Amino acid sequence: MKICYIASARSYYRPKLFEYFVKRGHQVHLISPDTPVFEMPGVHIHCFPQFRFKILRLVFTVLLGGVFVRRIIRSIKPDILHAIELDEGFAAASSGFHPFVMTPNGSDLLVWAKKHLLVRIIARYVFAKADVVTADSAPLKEASIALGAPKDRSSVIQWGVDLTQFNPQIDRARIREKYALGNSPLILSSRPLRQLYNTDTIIRCLPAVLKEVPSVKIMFAYGFTDNEAGMKKLASDLGVEDATIFVGPVDYKEMPYYCAAADICLSVPSSDSSPRSVYEEMACGVPPIVSDLPWTKDFITPEQNALIVPVRDHQALARAILRLLSDGELRQRITKANLKLVDEKLNYHKHMAEMENIYQLLC
């Protein structure tokens, strides 16, 4: 098949999606509003005209995106058009091409559509044009259906975890030696530093954690450096800078080693759909602490797969961290349950095969 995606080339995880279909022998094209920042072997990339200001890029996507996409489509003649995220979905829908698969990204529906009427109008237009809608969680699927996605042609397909890349056999010592961690308990946060992900809540919980476990370290490893200066200042203001490690952007191929080095992982955003980074950490045998959001109801059982804390409650987060650090039996129980869960429900190859089957049926 000749598959054409419309999606941001700046996404940390997008190359992993394309990799599956390239390896399966399909011809993969990407139409992107951004220039790539990650390598995408085998992918033919077509970029929108570039603008210095984000608002100009958005205006172009909304007003002329469909025209630009039509021109590219005429040249490559794809079998499938698949848009990821609502902005790109609008350009795809405006192009008039079918079959058209639409996948919302999470915040586009779970955050922005709740705040802005215009986003809801755009979502209804896009979903009305889509032949199939996929989502990476039940809450995101339901949000799509509420905004007009066809109920009988909407399904949950996870992005999944590549268990050949993320697994309990990854070398734990590599990162611990690199940062001279010794036997210090290591807590990992691999979410972006943007406000949505509440990195400040993690830093604010540190004084209470350090009071009980002075040797603990928290490592922030992420795809982009947004808000790094602000978070470093907060750590300094609270006197916990010596316990924080801001790694900066990490190559995706290196992430398994960061996961394996950790004793606990954290993901405490205010909104989320289905956090792939958490699943990857679970696949490496790291017990998670996550914020209490609807996605956890899909298959996360509290106390069995994760400890769940209220959103933006640094005191509850500190208590959860201290509990996991002090209870080795609980950590082992969560780890064992999660290795089974990831294999059964979050296997990358199984979910990508399901996506491939959707493409084939539409063709």
pLDDT tens-digit profile of 284-315? 999 999 999 999 998 899 999 999 999 999 99
**Is there a single domain that holds both residue 202 and residue 283?**
yes
Q: How far apart are CA 22 and CA 13, in angstroms?
A: 15
Q: Are 201 and 292 in contact (CB under 8 A)?
A: no
**Is there a single domain that holds both residue 302 and residue 183?**
yes
For residue 186, give Cα distances in angstroms to 183, 206, 245, 318.
Answer: 9, 12, 10, 14
Average pLDDT over residues 117-144: 96
Taking alpha carbons only, the member of 34, 68, 69, 38 closest to residue 54 is 34
**Is there a single domain that holds both residue 111 and residue 214?**
no
pLDDT in tens, 2-13: 999 999 998 888
**Is there a single domain that holds both residue 16 and residue 98?**
yes
Q: Are 312 and 201 in contact (CB under 8 A)?
A: yes
360 falls in which pLDDT band (50, 70, 90)?
Answer: very high
Asked whether residue 166 is domain-assigned, the answer is no
**Is there a single domain that holds both residue 355 and residue 295?**
no
Q: Is the pLDDT of residue 211 over 70?
A: yes
How big is the chain, counted in residues? 363
Share the mean pLDDT of the chain: 94
Report the range of poorest mean pLDDT among 55-64, 70-79, 248-257, 262-271: 55-64
For residue 166, give Cα distances in angstroms to 71, 137, 210, 276, 329.
Answer: 39, 21, 30, 11, 23
Count of domains in the chain? 2
**Is there a single domain that holds both residue 21 and residue 83?**
yes
Q: Is the pLDDT of residue 59 over 80?
A: no
Element (H, E) at 87: helix 86-95
Asked whether residue 310 is domain-assigned, the answer is yes
DSSP 8-class letter at 330: H
Q: Please report the pLDDT score of residue 62 as a whole number.
A: 67
Bigger pLDDT: 214 vs 61: 214
Asked whether residue 340 is domain-assigned, the answer is yes
Share of the chain above pLDDT 70, in %: 96
Average pLDDT over residues 26-33: 95
pLDDT in tens, 223-282: 666 789 999 999 999 999 999 999 988 999 999 999 999 999 999 999 999 999 999 999
Peptide bond into 99 cis (omega under 30): yes
pLDDT in tens, 84-128: 999 899 999 999 999 999 999 998 999 999 999 999 999 999 999
Give me 114's structure tokens: 């709740």
Give me 153's structure tokens: 């042609």
**Is there a single domain that holds both residue 126 and residue 240?**
no
**Is there a single domain that holds both residue 130 and residue 220?**
no
Asked whether residue 123 is domain-assigned, the answer is yes
> What is the DSSP track for 152-190?
GGEEE----B-TTTSSTTS-SHHHHHHTT-TT--EEEE-
Tokens 């609980």 label which residue? 330
| Residue 282 domain boundaries | 173-345
Q: Please report the pLDDT score of residue 223 as a whole number.
A: 65
**Is there a single domain that holds both residue 7 and residue 156?**
yes
For residue 332, give Cα distances in angstroms to 152, 165, 181, 216, 326.
Answer: 40, 21, 22, 19, 12
Asked whether residue 165 is domain-assigned, the answer is no
Asked whether residue 167 is domain-assigned, the answer is no
Q: Please report the pLDDT score of residue 225 as a whole number.
A: 63
Q: Please report the pLDDT score of residue 51 as a whole number.
A: 73
**Is there a single domain that holds both residue 199 and residue 326?**
yes
**Is there a single domain that holds both residue 143 and residue 189?**
no
Asked whether residue 168 is domain-assigned, the answer is no
CATH number at residue 288: 3.40.50.2000
Q: Are 140 and 275 in contact (CB under 8 A)?
A: no
Bigger pLDDT: 36 vs 220: 220
**Is there a single domain that holds both residue 179 and residue 326?**
yes
Strand, coil or helix: 260:
helix
Average pLDDT over residues 205-223: 94
Asked whether residue 124 is domain-assigned, the answer is yes
Other C-beta atoms closer than 10 Å to the C-beta of 136 total 23
